[in-house]
Structures are given as C-alpha cells and as structure tokens.
Structure 1
Amino acid sequence: MVLKTLTIGGSDTWGGGGIQTDLRTFEQLDVFGLSVLTCLAVEAVDDFVIRPLPVALVEEQLQTIERNFELAGVKIGLLADLETVSLVQDFCQRNQGRFPIILDPVMAFKETKDALQRDYIEKIKALFPYVDLITPNRREAQFLSGSEELTSAEELSFATEQIAKKTGVKVLVTGGESGIDTYREGSITQSFTGPISLKKTNHGAGCCFSSAICAHLAQGFSLIESIEKSKNHVYQSIENGVIVGEAGNVWRPKTKKESV
C-alpha cells in the first residue's frame, strides 16, 4: 500500500518553499503527498504578502482528507492566522497518536507587528502538546524562547533547551549556514552536523527538511534516523537545485539514490 502523507501550509507562488516543496519532497521520498492550503504568498510592491484563505475553506479541506484518506504522517507549515491555528489544533487533537505530526512553526509576519507576533506565538505554542516534533529555525527559536538574537552555538543550544523545558515537546532547531542542528528531548541534547552547501538554491530548505522528516517517519524510521536521512536529502536538494528567474529557486527532482 502506498503511504499517504499530508502537508498543511501555504502556497509559495515562486515555487521554492511551502506546499510546493513539501509535495516535491514527499514524491522524491516515495510517499504520496496530499495537501491542505491555508494561504497564498504573492508579490505586492516589491515585497511579498500573505493572503490567508477563508477558515471555512481550510476546514472543508481538512474534512475531505479525514473522510477519504488513511494518513501515515502530517507536516504543518505556515498557518497564517489565529483562526486557522485553532482549526489545525483541533485536527491534531483528534488525530494525536494515529500518525507522526511534524510542526515547522513558520512565522512570516513583519517584525514591526508586535501584537500579532505575541498572539500568533502563543497560539502556535498551544499546538505543541499535540505534535511529535517542532523544527524552528534560529529566528523562530528566538521568538519561541524569548531570547535575544541567537548567534553562537551555546546560545542556540540554550534556547533549544528552554523551549523543550517550557513546552515539553521535542525540539529540533535548524542551524542554517552553520550546518549544525540542535535536538532536545527531555534532558537529552544532541547535535546533528552535515556537509554545508555553498549553493544559493537554499530557499525552502526548512520546508524540505521538515517534510522529509515526516516522510521518513511515515516509512517507519526512528526520529533520529529520520533527522539524519533528511539532513542528507536537504543537502542533495540544495546542491542540485535550479534558479528560477530572480524570484527564487526550486528543487530539482532527485533520483531514488540521491534521496536516500
């Protein structure tokens, strides 16, 4: 039977991240990808804006999935607004323990919108008890831990520890250019290192990483094995990515050998 995995998140019109990268990653790793769209990222006056979909439409998509498919894993990305977060929280609560749920707590709001930041962060934290792993990047870890800018490995490790202690969730903070990802589960901290690509085709790397972890977990690998395999997959994806105009970049489809 073909394993089916679901991504809940936003559409990246440029094709480099979001739902597009999640589905591409699922396909590369031999699971069948389903999607629930929460918002659209589009260009506006030389910048990008997030256009949330009506909550009722997001709910209809979730109901369609639940009625028709047996899932082996779920990856959650950008949820865009507070009502959608609540809706997805209900979905996770209903399905907790049935399949692994990976939350990539994407925070695409503007730096100046302090009230939105606070409300959205607290709402996202309410999701944590119902997921198996969260995968924030450095900036997202900064918001979640209430830390100042995280620059050193020690600061990153401490922030990871604080998030895990306060929330009780397993945390994997991605290190970006450092190539070092920090994992915390209870009192255990583990670092994952890997080769660093100097290619510029790295837009959507976080989306690729979390959806790859979801796919590997769906296939029965342990969490640690899934993280290790996913780090290699992201590296190969960046190395073999292609630039699409000036807007962004996408992953080139991989052979099965490259995806392992």
Structure 2
Amino acid sequence: MESTKTISNVLTIAGSDSGGGAGIQADLKAFSALGAYGLSVITALTAQNTRGLTAVHAPESAFITAQLDAVFDDVRIDAVKIGMLANAGIVRAIAEALRRYRPKHVVLDTVMISKSNHALLAPEAIDALCEELLPLATLVTPNLPEAAALLGTQSAADEDEMVRQGESLRAHGAKAVLMKGGHLSSAESPDWLIESNGALRLGGARVPLSNTHGTGCTLSSAIAALIPQSDDLATATAEAKRYLTGAIEASARLQVGHDVGPVHHFFRWW
C-alpha cells in the first residue's frame, strides 16, 4: 500500500556554487537524498570550482525579498536552511521575511569564509547577522572560527571551550547551537549540541579523505531536511551527522575537479 505520509517542503536560502559541491546545489542534493522536497532562494552567484572561488555577485536585497515572497506565498514551508548571505542588506531582507512568514524550523549555517579563504560575508554584516537572524534561528551551526568571529574572541581550543562558546551564542539569542569540532586537532571530530536543557556530545571518527567541499552546507541542510520528520532536534542532528559521515566516506567514488572535491550526497543509491 502506498504511504500517505506528507513529504516535507524545505527551503534553502544560500549562494550558488558553480562547481556543484556546496551552497544551493549541495543543499538541494541533501534534501532529495533525505526525502524532502527542496526549494531555493539564491542570495549570491559564485564563480568557483574545486580549486577555489574567483568571483561573487550578490543581487539587490529587493530581489531576495521577491524570491522569498514567491515561495512563501504559494508553498507550505516546513523548514528553512540559511547559508551564504553576502552582505547586511541581504541579512535584513531575510530577517524581515522570516518575521513575516514565521517558519517553524530555521537552521542558520553561519557561512563566512570559503575553503579557499575568500570572504563570503562582509565584515560589517556580522553584527546584522547576530542582531537580526540569531534570535530567529531554531539552530545555529558554526564551525570554530565562525563561532569565534560571532563572539569577537579566539577559536575554541578544546571541547570545554566549545561548549562555553555555544552557551554564549545561545545567550545572544539562538535557541540552540551546534558547535562543529572539525577544526580541533584531535583524532575525533566531535560536535556539541547546546540546547536549553543542556549540552549533548555527538562524537565521530575523523574521516581521512580530502573531498570535503560543502560539508558544512550538507550538514546544516541535512538537519533542515530531517527535523520536520521527527520534530526533535537531537534526533535530526545525530542522523544528519551519520549521513554526512557516509557522504564523506564515499566521496572517493566521485571524480570531480582537481583539488578539494565534493562529498557524495547520493552514496546510498548510486
């Protein structure tokens, strides 16, 4: 008998990656792989490949608003993932739309620097992000340098400091924070989920492969795809982390470009 379970509609608000490994492209792949229908609002166009990023074009914030209105006016949105935002005007346009449409789940991936060390968020936009978007987020997913930039401090050097910084970000308005530990110099790659009821450690072996382009985008979009299915943030985050680990482990099956390649979003099917 055919299942009557409703498929979740999940919106990504992010930049486009012409190389296909991160941003909007990674988000839509992760949504599809995890059983959600993906929609998109494009905040920036980038010229990039596995070797790096060479150019960025950000549209006017009014066009971002037009895209948001077109989606929300017609489609039931069960979760939103936010990635690259480029500048303060785009941050404010998105915050205004979220306050107007009030989606139930918002996953904010604080994308600031590309793997090739290219700025993806203007420095003056950091304050706008903290003031406008953190209070609207169900979950914020910074890596350690991003968390430090948001707090105006040094990157956490150990897991105790990761938890303290996550609690500080919650004090700035975020409902929950996932501190990603990939930048720690340890054999593991632990993440910490900090919610109002405490902190949960999500351990995981560090996968010794170089195809890691788009890992942050993929993890946050996987959480956004999964949380409407369980309505439990810890469950969705743990499953998303398992999915990402599998996608990294299978990434060597892809032959894309000549440098830092993408993860394999469809490893369970291809």
Counterparts in 2 of 1:48 and 1:221: CA distance versus 1, 3 Å: same
CA deviation profile, 1:79-129 (whole Å, cap 9, x unmatched) = 111111111001111232x4211110111389899x942x21111112111
Judged with a 3 Å threshold, the aligned counterparts in structure 2 of structure 1 residues 251 and 154 are, in CA distance, closer, same or farther, namely same
Maintained 8 Å contact 1:92/1:131:
no
Specify which of 42, 46, 61 is matched with residue 41 of structure 1.
Answer: 46
| Percentage identity across paired residues of the two chains | 28
Instruction: Choose from 7, 26, 38 the match for 1:2.
Output: 7
Mapped to 2, the partners of 1:112 and 1:13 lie a distance apart of: 15
Displacement of 1:210 in angstroms is 0.6
2:78 paired residue number: 72
The aligned amino acid for 2:40 is S
1:27 and 2:24 aligned: no
Q: Report the Cα offset of residue 3 of structure 1.
A: 1.8
How far residue 56 of structure 1 moved from its aligned partner, in angstroms, is 2.4
Equivalent position of 1:232 in the other structure: 242
1:166 aligns with 2:172: yes
Query: Which of 251, 254, 258 matches 2:263?
Result: 251
Provide the TM-score with structure 2 as the length reference. 0.86
- C-alpha separation in 1, matches of 2:192 and 2:118: 28
Structure 1 segment 47-126 matched on structure 2, within 5 A: 47-96=53-102, 98-108=103-113, 116-117=122-123, 119-125=124-130, 126=132
2-structure distance, mates of 1:217, 1:120: 28
Partner of 2:3: none
Closer, same or farther in 2 for the Cα pair 1:37/1:168, shift >3 Å? closer
| Conserved? CA contact 2:135–2:173, under 8 Å | yes
Residue deviations 1:127-161 (CA, integer Å, cap 9, x gap): 11112110011110111122213222222222112
Give the Å deviation of 1:168: 4.6
- TM-score for the superposition, normalised by structure 1: 0.89
5+ unaligned residues in a row in structure 2: which ranges? 1-5
What do residues 219-253 of structure 1 show as CA deviations (whole Å, max 9, x unaligned)? 13410000110110000010112241125422331
SS in 1 for 2:172: helix
Shift in Å, 1:64: 1.1
Task: Report the AA paired with residue 209 of structure 1.
Answer: L
Over 3 Å counting, the alpha-carbon distance change for 1:152 and 1:208 in structure 2 is: same
Structure 1 residue runs of 5 or longer lacking an equivalent are: none
- Summarize the Cα distance change of 1:69–1:15 in structure 2 as closer, same or farther, 3 Å threshold: same
Whose helix fraction is larger, Structure 1's or Structure 2's? 1
Structure 2 residue matching 1:244: 3-state secondary structure: coil
